[in-house]
Structures are given as structure tokens and as C-alpha cells.
Amino acid sequence: MKKKMIWIVCTIVVVIVVLPLMKENLEKEELNEQTRSQLDGEFIELKDGFTHYELKGQKDRKTIVLVHGNAAPCVTWDNNVDALLQSGFRVLRYDVFGHGFSDRPELDKYTREFYDNQLVELLDKLSITDPIYLVGTSQGGSISTYFTAKHPDKVEKLALIAPLFDSFEEQDKAAMLKPPFIGEYIIRLVGDKKLIDPSNGFYYEKKQDALRSKLKKQIHFKGKKRAYLANIRGDGLNDATAVYTEVKKTGIPLLLTWARQDKIISGESMSRLRKLIPVIRYHEIENAGHLAHYETPEKINPILIKFFNE
């Protein structure tokens, strides 16, 4: 019996050790000058690394800055940029560090201040000095709110699309990735598959394929899974009630949209946000998921344009 137990334990240990080695690691390429030259968009060097961005529109127009979330990079704004440009705005979108084609700095934790510094420096380097219209979705909503709270003089209006406020649906699963070694082990097993699967952000299955192919392209650059862990281990996904409270005090006009079929940000969380800031303008979207701005731009774009034109 004792020999049998030893054999079972040894087998389990071998499986645990070997299983990650059997998984193909899609991170094979380096983000460097050569690979960047083959990618769409522009790149600018900031103190923490290169940031991938796109800036379109006339310089004398009001600038809208789009901040994506943790689910997918700035390509999720593909269906919104043209509508905003045609409405007379200048539009800046960028990949948050660790996402898309921006660098993946080798830090143990990506914090709110770290993301804030990126946006502050990006605006400075691009000579965008007038107050901006800011749009953030998911964790990008939290990043945008933090930016607004710290730099109220830089923001004229803030629009939030299913923003991370005080909780999200996969919080317990994310917590499992925080401990050292355990997080690396789990992300090595399931990371590639998870990071190229946008299904949790959609209501309509047929609209996922185009985004999935774009996610596959950015996962091939080394450091993506490491950056994903650094984001989870920082404070960027923590309860941000205090930050939203600070923005409330500024009196800056606020817009909130949320889709009823959102699987990531709950209606209860959005109700608490609306209770905290009763003056926030609210629009509820039907038949759309967490990435409503990508999935149903025909619903989101008019809401944004009206808010910014008022």
C-alpha cells in the first residue's frame, strides 16, 4: 500500500512538472525596432518603454482619448474611431503597457500610478495640452477615472463604458494568480488560450472572430503573460470607490454606459456607482456584452458623440 501511494504521488509530481512543458508557448517574437516597423500605428518612447498609439484628426479639434480595458488592446476601438472623426473630433487611442504592441516593462506590479504616468507622458510627448475628452472601458475606465482624479485640469469630460468600479465577476479567479510561482504555473498552462479568447466580452458569438485574430497577433510578442500577472498583482483591479469619489468632487461631466448582458461587470456594481454619483448620465444597452463599444458601435457611438457635443 505504501509503495502504491509513493507511486501515485510521484506520478502526480511528474504530471505537474511536465504538463506546462507540453503546452506550446505562443510568445516567440521580440518587440524591437525591426518588428515595430512592420506593425500598424505609431510608436513613441516613454520612460518605461515604447507605447503604441494612433492619433488622427485635425490639431485644432477637440481631442478624445480612448483607453481600452484588460480584456483586449486598443484595437477594440476599431469601430468607434471613424465615427468620432467624422463628428469633428481629433482621436487618440493607445495600448496600455503590457497590452497590444506597447512594451511589457519587467516590473513585479503594474499599479494605477504606473498607468497614469504612461498617459501623462504620452499626452506631453504628443503636445496635447488642452483639456481632453476621456473615454475608458473596463479597467480603462478605472485608469481614466484615476487620471481624472489626479489631473482634473486636464479633463473636460469623462465617459465610462462598463468601467471597473468596485468589483468584477472573475475576481476570485484573478486572486489565484497573485501568489508567486502559482500564478506563473497557471498562466503557463492556460494563459495563451485565455488571452486570445474574447468570448466573455461578447453577446453575439458571430462578432468574436475578427477580434480574436487581432488578439492572436499581439500574443506572439514576449512578455504578454508576465505583464498580465503584473497587472493582477498591482492595485489596478482593486476597489476604486475612493478614486471615483474624488472625481465626483470635481464636478466634471460624467457619462456611464453598461450593457445588460455584460458577463464581467455586474449590474449591481454599476448600481452602486450610480448611487455614489447620482448626477452621472446613464445609458443601458440591450443585446450587447462587456465590449459593447466594439460589438454594437451603432448604439455606443451616438451616445458618445451627443455627450461630447453638448
Q: Is residue 184 over pLDDT 50?
A: yes
In this predicted structure, what is the pLDDT of residue 192?
76
In angstroms, the CA 160 to CA 144 distance is: 8
Mean pLDDT, the chain, whole residue set? 90
- Residue 95 CA to its chain's centroid (Å): 8
- Concatenate the DSSP letters of all residues of 188-227 into one string: HHHHHHHHT--GGG-S-GGGSHHHHHHHHHHHTBTTHHHH
Task: Give percent of the chain with pLDDT exceeding 70.
Answer: 92
C-alpha cell at 306: 451627443
Q: What is the mean pLDDT of residues 221-247?
A: 95
Nine cell digits for residue 145: 477615472
Q: pLDDT tier at 3 (50, 70, 90 boundaries)? A: low
> For residue 220, what pLDDT band results from cuts at 50, 70 and 90?
confident
User: What's the CA angle centered on 167, arms 195 and 67, to 5 degrees?
Assistant: 55
This model's pTM is above 0.85: yes
Helix (H) or strand (E) holding 275: helix 267-276
Domains of the chain: 2-309 (3.40.50.1820)
